[in-house]
Amino acid sequence: MQEQTFSITRLERERLNGHKGAVLWFTGLSGAGKSTIADELEIALHRTGKRTYTLDGDNFRSGLCRDLGFTPEGRQENIRRLAEVAKLMMDAGLIVMTAFISPFRRDRDFARQLVGPENFFEIYISTPLEVCEHRDVKGLYRKAREGILPNMTGVGSVYEKPDRPSVSIDASKCSKAEAVELILMTIRELIPAGQDRAV
């Protein structure tokens, strides 16, 4: 079968954008601060002209994965699709952030291999369970303790910590701005020297 090969490749898009595409895979407990830090990072990247996108439960589970439940199989398929879409968006030249609990090492390793280890940054938001549960911004931990959410990560279901994350950030011990600085240091290879100032 003849396959169509497209003329405009990731490399051309990266040249046009002035930075590399990549996947910044946030992982951590519910309430750890993944989406909040991803948002702050995206503001900083956008301000300096970087092309970005953030995939999270709101724009992902409600659309592409609306057919999936929260069974182990449903969660695994959710992460598989997330990795596939992140890969496509990276191929489109974007710095893609994903903000999902993604509690299982196996799923994150799958994503890393699919995307390519050289393009994959595992950003572990390591805020302790006690802090996340105390905040309980979505009221999920309370429901979990009441037995309404039996598979809640950190309560009824395990969170497997990353072995060697690209960066590890305890959001209870630093400001949002400090977290963003740490991540920008971690991904500086994506951005040519001298192009990190506001445009």
User: Where on the chain is the footprint of its own copies (CB under 8 A)?
Assistant: 1-4, 6-8, 12-13, 16-17, 35-36, 39, 42-43, 46, 49, 51-56, 58-60, 63-64, 67, 77, 81, 84-85, 87-89, 91-94, 99, 137-139
Give least dist CB 159 to its own copies, A. Answer: 19
Of 54 and 126, nearer to its own copies (C-beta) is: 54
State yes or no: is 102 an active-site residue: yes
The span from the CA of 82 to the CA of 31, in Å, is 20
Q: Are 86 and 73 in contact (CB under 8 A)?
A: no
The span from the CA of 27 to the CA of 102, in Å, is 6
Residue 119: burial class (beta carbons within 10 Å; 0-12, 13-18, 19+): buried
Q: Are 97 and 141 in contact (CB under 8 A)?
A: no
Catalytic residue among 102, 157, 168, 172: 102
Give least dist CB 163 to its own copies, A. Answer: 26
Which tokens sit at 127?
A: 């805020």
Give least dist CB 170 to its own copies, A. Answer: 19
- Residues with a catalytic annotation lie at 102
